[in-house]
Structure 1
Amino acid sequence: MTIKSMHHVGITVTDLAATVAFFQELGLELEGEAHMEGTFVDGVIGLDGSRSRIAMMRTPDDRYRVEFSEFETPQSIDGSSYAPINALGLRHVAFVVDDLDDTLARLRPHGAEVVRNVETYQDVLKTCYVRGPEGILIELCEYFS
């Protein structure tokens, strides 16, 4: 076996504070924030003179992490964050929630918009895609017992 586990998914944003607030409302827990710069970071990410702030957030079960980065230098470039789901590349992050309707109500004041509909599949689950901060696509799933 070559992989022991998945550590995190990284997402670059332009407003770290708003992104952290949105994902805290969703239920992720802030593990820590840090300022990143120097030769070590430059060597890892391949950008000379980089400076960024990061926030590492984790799911309540402590199994998964999402790292949000806001770059001071070099300036971030548009990565087509509002691309549709069929665009090539990493497109969405999915979370299981206890109550989808309640979750949507709490996220709307933070700018969340349902992509089209909340759909129910048989008696198995209720799900939808949501655009969050920076156009991040999030799938929310409520499984029925």
Structure 2
Amino acid sequence: MSSSESSVQDPAIEAIASAAAEPETETATEPQSDSMAEYYALQRQLLQITLICTVVIFGAVWWAYSLNTAASYLLGAMGGLLYLRMLGKAVERIGERRRQFGKSRLALFVVLIVVAARWHYLELMPVFLGFLTYKAALIWYTLRTVFPAAENS
């Protein structure tokens, strides 16, 4: 076949080929974009709940203890927020080939604890508990998922 014969194709064949290709692209991208939109909404919701918990607990710690203890808690909570964001980005990239499996997230936690241990202004336990504040948002989401009727009533 010459190049002029291969470039001229039957319009019916082209229509069938394009019709066959269109549903595949729509069905392949539509569920993925819907699921990613749902994932981004969940990620944003978890970050917001963690931030709200951080503000409330920071105020309570400052009122009950001291500004030093509250600042230690706040440093840990900000580290926890950053950790949750990094975790969300890692989940978003699942399936890509990577050589680092969470090394940066582990490094964040280690640096946070080392800074708290070395700097005499900070207290280690409030930093650690502050770091775990993001878990409250995860527990809230889990309970909301397991017991959906309680939220609707």
TM-score (norm 1): 0.24
Higher helix share: 2
Higher strand share: 1
TM-score (norm 2): 0.23
Larger Rg: 2
**Larger RCO (alpha carbons 8 Å, 6+ apart):** 2
